[in-house]
Amino acid sequence: MFLIDGGRGDRFLVDTGHWSERATLVYALKRAGIGPSDLTGVLLTHRHSDHAGNARWLREWFGVRIYAHRADAEILEGTQPVPFMERGAGSFVAGVLARFENRWPARVPVDRALDEGDTVAGMEVHWVPGHTEGSVFYRHASTRSLLSGDTLLTAIPPLVLRAGIALPYPTFTRDMRQAHESIRAFHAQAIDYDHLLPGHGRPLMNDARRRIVDHLERQGILAANSQT
C-alpha cells in the first residue's frame, strides 16, 4: 500500500491490503495524519484480495471511490467470473494461498474503470496484463516512480519474506507468458523511472529502471543491451 498525498481532496491509496490487515491500514493512515474518510480514492494495481481486500469496506463505510483497470473491474464487480487459481508449478504454500483466494476473492463496485493511457491522481496508467487480466503499472512522473503491484516485486514469492527482484509467481499469475511480454514491452519503450514501489518488498530507490532491466536481461525477457 502506498499513499499519494496531494492534500485535502487529493489523497489516493494505491492498493488496500487484505481484509485481515485492516487494523494495519487504519494505523498506517493515522501515522500519516489522516483517516479513511480523508481518502479521495483507491487505485488498484490488480484484483487479488491481498491488494483489493479492503476496497469494499472503504467504499461502503467512507465513500472512497474505487479505480481499477476495466478488465479487473469486470471481475471485481461480478460481471465476469473469477478465474480459478491452481497451484501448478508453485510450492505447497502457494497452493494453500491459492485455495484461500479461490474461496474468498475480493468483490467491490468500481467507480471508474481505467484504460491504457489514462491519467489518475497525477499518474499514468500502463496496462500490463498477465498477472491478472487488468494488472497495471502507475507511473508518477513528477517523482519518477513506478508503482508495480505484483508484476514486478522486490521480494521472492510466494511468502515474500526474502529480498530480491522477482517476476510474477506462476500459481498466482493468470498467464505467465503474457505477464513477461507485458513487462518486456513496457521496458522496451522510452519510459523512464528512478524508483520502483512494488506490491511486495521494499521500495527500490534510485537507478531502479537500470537494475530491473539488468534482471530482465538475465532472465531472457529482454535482449542484452536493451534500451535503458
| Lowest-confidence region among 37-41, 108-112, 221-225 | 221-225
Quote the mean pLDDT of the chain: 96
d(CA 123, CA 142) in angstroms, rounded, equals 9
Does 115 have pLDDT greater than 80? yes
The answer to whether 73 touches 96, Cβ cutoff 8 Å, is no
Comparing C-alpha atoms, which of 72, 78, 84 is closest to residue 42?
72
Q: What is the mean pLDDT of residues 137-154?
A: 97
C-alpha to C-alpha distance for 181 and 186, rounded to whole angstroms:
8
pLDDT of 152 > 80? The answer is yes
Phi, psi dihedral angles at 198 (to 5 degrees) = -90, 165
Nearest to 152 by CA among 215, 68, 226, 223: 215
* Residue 227: pLDDT over 70: no
Cα gap 101→104, rounded to integer Å: 5
Model confidence, pTM: 0.95
Domains of the chain in sequence order: 2-218 (3.60.15.10)
Please, what's the largest Cα pairwise distance for the chain?
Answer: 50
Residue closest to 67 by CA, chosen among 122, 15, 139: 15
